[in-house]
Amino acid sequence: MESPISKTDLNFISLADPDIQKSVALLKQACLDSGFFYVVDHGISQDFMDEVFAQSKKFFDLPHNEKMKLLRDEKNRGYTPMLDEILDPENQVNGDYKEGYYIGVEVPADNPEANRPFYGPNQWPTEDVLPKWREVMEQYHREALRVAKSVARIIALALDLDVDFFDRPEMLGEPIATLRLLHYEGAQKTGQVSNPAKGVYGAGAHSDYGLITLLATDDVVGLQICKDRNAQPQVWEYVAPLKGGFIVNLGDMLERWSNSIFRSTLHRVVLDGRERYSIGNFVEPSHDCVVECLPTCKSETNPPMFAPITCSAYLSQRYKDTHADLNSYSSKA
C-alpha cells in the first residue's frame, strides 16, 4: 500500500550567491530532510543545455540496430536497452522502462589506467551518423563535473570539513564521473504506463551509489522521492522539473561518510505515459578512495555504522547487482 502522491518542496541553492554560509545552511537542511535540493546559477547556459538534450534525442531516435552497435561494454560505456536495468527486483515485474547511454572519463585503451573498472575509452557514434555528438557530450561532461565540485565544497562545509576536502586527488581530483543520457519512451511505443501496484516503473526504487548526482530533466514530471524508506506505507512525493537548474541528490557513499547524518534517499520514476528525457551526472571519488566515517561524524556515543570500503569495490558490486549480464545479449544475436 502507498499513500496518495503529492509534490515536495526542495531548497534552492545558488552557486552565484556570495553568502556561502546561507548556502551551507540551506544545503544542510536539505540533506537532513530529504537528501534532495535544486542547484541554480551554475554557469551552464540554457542554450547549451538545450543543445545537449537535442543531441541526446538524436541518438535515441536512431534505429535499434544502430544503437545496439554501441551496446555497453564491460566498462559500462555505451548503450543500455530497454529493460536492461532492474533497480528494485523485489517490486518490479520487468526491468526499467527506459533506455540509456553511459559516458565516463575518457582514458585511451593503451593507458595503464584503462585497466581499472569504470575507466577506459568511451564508445562514440561515428561523425557521419551523429556529427558533433561527441564534442557536445564531452563538453557537457566537463561542465557538469565543474558544477558537482562546486556543490561538493558546500557539502564539505556543511559537514564541518575544510572547504577543499573533496578536491583532493583521492577524492574528486581523479573522479569516476559518469554521464548517463536517459530516455523513457512513453506508452505510445511501449504500451506501458507506470503502475506501482502492478510492478511497472520507468525506473524502480533505488538510491544512487556515489557521492552526489546532478539531474537535468525536460518538463515531464516523473521523479518521485521517499524520505523515509522504513515507513509503512511508504510516502512518495513528486519532484517538479526545474528548467535551467539541476535536481541534486546525495548518494550512498556520502551517507556512509556522514554516518547516516546525511541521507541517500530512495527515488524512482513513475510516468503517466508521456515520453521523458533526462540526463544524470553521477559523481564518485577515485577508485582507491576509502569511504569510511568522517572524524566530524562520529563519537563515543555515535560510532561508525558502516565498515570502510573502497569506491571501486562498492561501485562494481552495485552495477553488477542492477544490470543485465552482457552475455544475455550475445545469446540473442
Kindly tell me if the per-residue pLDDT of 4 is higher than 60.
no
Residue type, 313: A
Kindly tell me if the per-residue pLDDT of 331 is higher than 60.
no
CA distance linking residue 233 with residue 280, whole number of Å: 28
Kindly tell me if the per-residue pLDDT of 125 is higher than 60.
yes
The DSSP symbol for 147 reads: H
End-to-end CA distance of the chain: 41
Greater confidence (117 vs 70) lies with 70
Assign 108 a pLDDT band (cuts: 50, 70, 90): very high
Average pLDDT over residues 289-310: 93
Assign 117 a pLDDT band (cuts: 50, 70, 90): confident
- The pLDDT of residue 272 is 87
Assign 118 a pLDDT band (cuts: 50, 70, 90): confident
Take residue 330 and report the three cell numbers written for it: 550475445
Residue with cell 551523429: 130
- The pLDDT of residue 49 is 97
Domains in the chain and their CATH numbers?
Answer: 12-329 (2.60.120.330)
Other C-beta atoms lying within 10 Å of the C-beta of residue 191? 10
Average pLDDT over residues 135-151: 97
Assign 318 a pLDDT band (cuts: 50, 70, 90): confident
Average pLDDT over residues 125-142: 97
Distance set, CA 223 to CA 7, 60, 248 (Å): 10, 20, 12
Distance set, CA 168 to CA 15, 149, 164, 165 (Å): 21, 11, 7, 6
Kindly tell me if the per-residue pLDDT of 333 is higher than 70.
no
Q: Which residues contact 52 (CB under 8 A, 6 or more apart)?
A: 136, 137, 140, 216, 279
Greater confidence (108 vs 190) lies with 108
User: By the 8 A CB rule, do 72 and 78 touch?
Assistant: yes
CA distance linking residue 52 with residue 142, whole number of Å: 13
pLDDT tens-place string over residues 5-25:
788 899 999 999 999 999 999
Average pLDDT over residues 24-44: 95
- The pLDDT of residue 93 is 84
Greater confidence (166 vs 230) lies with 166
Assign 79 a pLDDT band (cuts: 50, 70, 90): very high
CA distance linking residue 95 with residue 75, whole number of Å: 21
User: By the 8 A CB rule, do 122 and 105 touch?
Assistant: no
Kindly tell me if the per-residue pLDDT of 26 is higher than 90.
yes
Kindly tell me if the per-residue pLDDT of 158 is higher than 90.
yes
Assign 162 a pLDDT band (cuts: 50, 70, 90): very high
- The pLDDT of residue 146 is 97
- The pLDDT of residue 275 is 93
Assign 230 a pLDDT band (cuts: 50, 70, 90): confident
pLDDT tens-place string over residues 84-94:
888 888 888 88
pLDDT tens-place string over residues 184-213:
987 667 667 788 888 888 899 999 988 999
Question: Which helix (H) or strand (E) is 14 found in, with range?
Answer: strand 12-14
The DSSP symbol for 179 reads: E
Angle at 280 between CA 33 and CA 289, to 5 degrees: 75
Assign 156 a pLDDT band (cuts: 50, 70, 90): very high
Average pLDDT over residues 68-78: 92
Assign 54 a pLDDT band (cuts: 50, 70, 90): very high
Q: What percentage of the chain has pLDDT greater than the value 90?
A: 70
